[in-house]
Amino acid sequence: MQPRAERTVPKGWLISSRFYGLHDEVAAREQASRCVQCPEPTCVAGCPLGVHIPEWLALTAEGNFLEAAASPFHDLAVNERGAVIVDANHMTSIPGILAGGDLVRGPTTALHAVRDARRAAIGIHGYCAGRDRRFDAAAAG
């Protein structure tokens, strides 16, 4: 995969005027190291996905990419086997995040994954339509 070309970001968005799309490992570590030192509080508190930006940047700067990728989901409820807990609509404990298949059941057949995907699609439709927006712990299996 080729890294994307450097592009300009509107003034005021970043301390550095450089921004890169997809990163190779070296570029990702450099960008994260630069961002860790950024005094702009918007980046720290303003993530709409609830990503703990300082933690994510520190992990990325250290080269711990798998941990960084998992960090936005540290509040995800899991059972004793480490499988994600979902309700009847496949909604997880994080609003707007639905799951199914091996993530919920552990290793199983494609048939189960397809069935879960269909149920999750119904849950996604309900979520986008404004219904079923909350995780129902009582319905969680």
What confidence tens digit (pLDDT) does each residue in 72-121 have?
Answer: 677 788 888 878 888 888 888 888 888 888 888 888 888 888 888 888 88
Q: Are residues 67 and 92 in the same domain?
A: no
How crowded is residue 33: how many other Cβ atoms within 10 Å of its Cβ? 14
Q: Are residues 93 and 131 in the same domain?
A: yes
Nearest to 107 by CA among 82, 77, 71: 82
Query: Quick check: 123 pLDDT over 80?
Result: yes
Our count of domains for the chain comes to 2
Reduced DSSP (H G I as helix, E B as strand, rest coil) percent helix, strand, coil of the chain, to 5: 45, 5, 50
Q: Are residues 63 and 80 in the same domain?
A: no
Nearest to 102 by CA among 113, 91, 87: 113
Q: Are residues 122 and 104 in the same domain?
A: yes
**Which of 31, 55, 72 represents a domain boundary (last residue)?**
72
E strand or H helix at 141:
none
Q: Are residues 82 and 31 in the same domain?
A: no
Tokens of 2: 């080729």
Is there a domain that residue 88 lies in? yes
How crowded is residue 15: how many other Cβ atoms within 10 Å of its Cβ? 13
Nearest to 81 by CA among 99, 104, 101: 104
Find the domain containing 50 and state its range: 7-72
**Which of 72, 98, 124 represents a domain boundary (last residue)?**
72
Query: Quick check: 19 pLDDT over 50?
Result: no
Is there a domain that residue 130 lies in? yes
Neighbour-count burial of 65, counting CB atoms closer than 10 A to its CB (0-12 exposed, 13-18 middle, 19+ buried): middle
Is there a domain that residue 1 lies in? no
Query: Could you give the percent of the chain with pLDDT greater than 90?
Result: 0
Is there a domain that residue 113 lies in? yes
Check residue 45 and give its pLDDT: 58
Nearest to 121 by CA among 78, 134, 113: 113
Q: What's the pTM? A: 0.49
Is there a domain that residue 34 lies in? yes
**Which of 43, 72, 101 represents a domain boundary (last residue)?**
72
Q: Are residues 53 and 22 in the same domain?
A: yes
Between residues 115 and 59, the one the model is more confident about: 115
